[in-house]
Amino acid sequence: MEKIRLNDRTFKVMIPAEQIDLAVAKVAQKLNEDYKNAERPPIFVGVLCGAYVFLADLVRKVDFTNEITFMQVSSYKGTQSTGNVHQKLGIDFDITGRDIILVEDIVETGHSIEYMVEYLQTLNPNSVEVCTLFYKPEKHKYDREIKYVAMEIGNEFIVGYGLDYDQIGRNLRDIYVVDNE
Protein backbone atom coordinates (compact mmCIF):
# COMPACT_ATOMS: atom_id res chain seq x y z
CA MET A 1 0.00 0.00 0.00
CA GLU A 2 1.36 3.41 -0.99
CA LYS A 3 2.48 5.63 1.89
CA ILE A 4 3.45 9.27 1.87
CA ARG A 5 5.00 11.62 4.39
CA LEU A 6 3.51 15.08 5.01
CA ASN A 7 5.29 17.21 7.60
CA ASP A 8 5.53 15.04 10.72
CA ARG A 9 3.03 12.29 9.77
CA THR A 10 2.86 9.26 7.52
CA PHE A 11 -0.35 8.63 5.54
CA LYS A 12 -1.67 5.65 3.56
CA VAL A 13 -4.30 5.45 0.81
CA MET A 14 -7.84 5.15 2.16
CA ILE A 15 -9.95 5.95 -0.94
CA PRO A 16 -8.47 5.65 -4.45
CA ALA A 17 -9.11 8.34 -7.06
CA GLU A 18 -11.33 6.04 -9.15
CA GLN A 19 -13.72 5.53 -6.24
CA ILE A 20 -13.86 9.29 -5.61
CA ASP A 21 -14.68 9.90 -9.28
CA LEU A 22 -17.61 7.46 -9.14
CA ALA A 23 -18.97 9.15 -6.00
CA VAL A 24 -18.69 12.60 -7.62
CA ALA A 25 -20.54 11.32 -10.71
CA LYS A 26 -23.31 9.91 -8.53
CA VAL A 27 -23.89 13.17 -6.63
CA ALA A 28 -23.72 15.11 -9.93
CA GLN A 29 -26.51 12.91 -11.31
CA LYS A 30 -28.69 13.73 -8.30
CA LEU A 31 -28.02 17.45 -8.82
CA ASN A 32 -28.85 17.04 -12.53
CA GLU A 33 -32.23 15.57 -11.62
CA ASP A 34 -33.02 18.26 -9.06
CA TYR A 35 -31.90 21.31 -11.06
CA LYS A 36 -32.68 20.32 -14.67
CA ASN A 37 -35.73 22.62 -14.77
CA ALA A 38 -34.35 25.55 -12.78
CA GLU A 39 -35.67 28.90 -14.04
CA ARG A 40 -32.35 30.64 -13.49
CA PRO A 41 -28.90 29.04 -13.38
CA PRO A 42 -28.13 27.79 -9.86
CA ILE A 43 -25.02 29.22 -8.22
CA PHE A 44 -22.37 26.83 -6.95
CA VAL A 45 -20.60 28.41 -3.98
CA GLY A 46 -17.33 26.57 -3.44
CA VAL A 47 -15.78 26.74 -0.01
CA LEU A 48 -12.09 27.58 -0.24
CA CYS A 49 -9.62 26.14 -0.04
CA GLY A 50 -10.61 22.48 0.37
CA ALA A 51 -13.57 22.20 -2.02
CA TYR A 52 -11.90 23.54 -5.16
CA VAL A 53 -10.93 20.10 -6.55
CA PHE A 54 -14.36 18.59 -5.79
CA LEU A 55 -16.15 21.64 -7.24
CA ALA A 56 -14.09 21.54 -10.45
CA ASP A 57 -14.84 17.85 -11.02
CA LEU A 58 -18.49 18.24 -9.96
CA VAL A 59 -19.37 21.10 -12.33
CA ARG A 60 -17.84 19.22 -15.26
CA LYS A 61 -20.27 16.37 -14.52
CA VAL A 62 -23.48 18.42 -14.24
CA ASP A 63 -25.43 19.15 -17.39
CA PHE A 64 -27.36 22.26 -16.35
CA THR A 65 -26.24 25.85 -16.79
CA ASN A 66 -24.74 27.24 -13.61
CA GLU A 67 -22.64 29.99 -12.11
CA ILE A 68 -19.68 29.58 -9.76
CA THR A 69 -18.35 31.71 -6.93
CA PHE A 70 -16.40 31.10 -3.74
CA MET A 71 -16.48 31.71 0.00
CA GLN A 72 -13.70 31.17 2.47
CA VAL A 73 -14.00 30.39 6.15
CA SER A 74 -11.62 28.70 8.53
CA SER A 75 -12.02 26.70 11.71
CA TYR A 76 -9.04 24.31 11.65
CA LYS A 77 -5.60 24.27 13.17
CA GLY A 78 -3.58 21.18 12.26
CA THR A 79 -5.86 18.12 12.43
CA GLN A 80 -8.47 19.59 14.78
CA SER A 81 -11.40 21.97 14.38
CA THR A 82 -11.15 24.91 16.75
CA GLY A 83 -14.94 25.29 16.81
CA ASN A 84 -14.56 28.97 15.94
CA VAL A 85 -15.50 29.97 12.39
CA HIS A 86 -13.89 33.01 10.78
CA GLN A 87 -15.07 34.32 7.39
CA LYS A 88 -12.30 35.44 5.07
CA LEU A 89 -14.22 35.81 1.78
CA GLY A 90 -17.93 36.28 1.14
CA ILE A 91 -20.38 36.81 -1.71
CA ASP A 92 -19.96 40.15 -3.49
CA PHE A 93 -22.99 40.12 -5.83
CA ASP A 94 -26.77 39.88 -5.59
CA ILE A 95 -28.08 36.33 -5.06
CA THR A 96 -31.66 37.35 -4.28
CA GLY A 97 -34.10 34.67 -5.46
CA ARG A 98 -31.34 32.33 -6.68
CA ASP A 99 -30.80 28.65 -5.87
CA ILE A 100 -27.49 28.21 -4.05
CA ILE A 101 -25.53 24.95 -3.89
CA LEU A 102 -22.93 25.31 -1.15
CA VAL A 103 -20.06 22.94 -2.06
CA GLU A 104 -17.87 21.76 0.81
CA ASP A 105 -15.03 19.23 0.92
CA ILE A 106 -16.05 17.70 4.25
CA VAL A 107 -18.82 18.20 6.80
CA GLU A 108 -17.89 17.14 10.30
CA THR A 109 -19.35 19.02 13.28
CA GLY A 110 -21.30 21.32 10.97
CA HIS A 111 -20.09 24.56 12.60
CA SER A 112 -18.77 25.98 9.32
CA ILE A 113 -21.82 24.87 7.30
CA GLU A 114 -24.22 26.44 9.81
CA TYR A 115 -22.26 29.68 9.71
CA MET A 116 -22.18 29.79 5.90
CA VAL A 117 -25.83 28.80 5.38
CA GLU A 118 -26.98 31.43 7.89
CA TYR A 119 -24.80 34.03 6.15
CA LEU A 120 -26.13 33.08 2.69
CA GLN A 121 -29.73 33.19 3.92
CA THR A 122 -29.27 36.84 4.92
CA LEU A 123 -28.72 37.52 1.20
CA ASN A 124 -32.28 36.33 0.35
CA PRO A 125 -31.67 33.39 -2.00
CA ASN A 126 -34.52 31.16 -3.15
CA SER A 127 -32.82 28.14 -1.57
CA VAL A 128 -29.54 27.00 -0.05
CA GLU A 129 -28.56 23.32 -0.20
CA VAL A 130 -25.31 21.73 0.92
CA CYS A 131 -23.27 19.40 -1.29
CA THR A 132 -20.26 17.74 0.29
CA LEU A 133 -17.69 15.25 -0.86
CA PHE A 134 -17.32 13.70 2.60
CA TYR A 135 -19.73 13.59 5.52
CA LYS A 136 -18.98 12.41 9.06
CA PRO A 137 -22.48 11.73 10.47
CA GLU A 138 -21.12 10.66 13.88
CA LYS A 139 -19.55 14.09 14.43
CA HIS A 140 -22.39 16.24 13.02
CA LYS A 141 -23.96 18.40 15.75
CA TYR A 142 -26.80 20.15 13.87
CA ASP A 143 -30.25 19.21 12.58
CA ARG A 144 -29.62 20.66 9.11
CA GLU A 145 -29.95 18.03 6.39
CA ILE A 146 -26.92 17.62 4.17
CA LYS A 147 -28.86 16.91 0.98
CA TYR A 148 -26.03 15.98 -1.38
CA VAL A 149 -23.39 13.66 0.07
CA ALA A 150 -20.86 11.91 -2.16
CA MET A 151 -19.41 9.69 0.61
CA GLU A 152 -19.94 9.04 4.30
CA ILE A 153 -16.83 8.25 6.31
CA GLY A 154 -15.88 7.65 9.93
CA ASN A 155 -13.93 9.99 12.17
CA GLU A 156 -10.57 9.54 10.44
CA PHE A 157 -8.42 12.55 9.63
CA ILE A 158 -8.01 12.53 5.85
CA VAL A 159 -5.93 14.43 3.33
CA GLY A 160 -5.86 14.70 -0.47
CA TYR A 161 -8.26 15.68 -3.26
CA GLY A 162 -8.36 19.24 -1.93
CA LEU A 163 -8.19 18.41 1.78
CA ASP A 164 -5.00 19.45 3.54
CA TYR A 165 -2.78 18.81 6.51
CA ASP A 166 -1.41 22.22 7.55
CA GLN A 167 -1.91 23.49 3.98
CA ILE A 168 -0.15 20.61 2.17
CA GLY A 169 -1.46 17.51 0.42
CA ARG A 170 -4.38 19.15 -1.44
CA ASN A 171 -2.92 18.06 -4.79
CA LEU A 172 -3.07 14.32 -4.06
CA ARG A 173 -5.46 12.37 -6.33
CA ASP A 174 -6.34 9.77 -3.70
CA ILE A 175 -7.61 10.26 -0.15
CA TYR A 176 -5.06 9.37 2.51
CA VAL A 177 -5.51 8.60 6.20
CA VAL A 178 -2.94 8.78 9.01
CA ASP A 179 -0.95 5.55 9.14
CA ASN A 180 -0.76 4.47 12.77
CA GLU A 181 1.24 1.30 12.09
Of the listed 108, 114, 156, 181, which one is catalytic? 108
Whether 39 sits among the annotated catalytic residues: the reply is no
Triad 116, 117, 121: Cα angle to 5°: 115
Query: Sign of torsion, CA 125 101 135 145?
Result: positive
Query: Sign of torsion, CA 107 123 25 162?
Result: negative
**Residue 21, CB-side half-sphere exposure with 13 Å CA sphere:** 6
**Do 89 and 71 contact (CB within 8 A), yes or no?**
yes
How does DSSP assign 6-30, residue by residue? ETTEEEEEEE-HHHHHHHHHHHHHH
User: Which residues carry out catalysis?
Assistant: 108
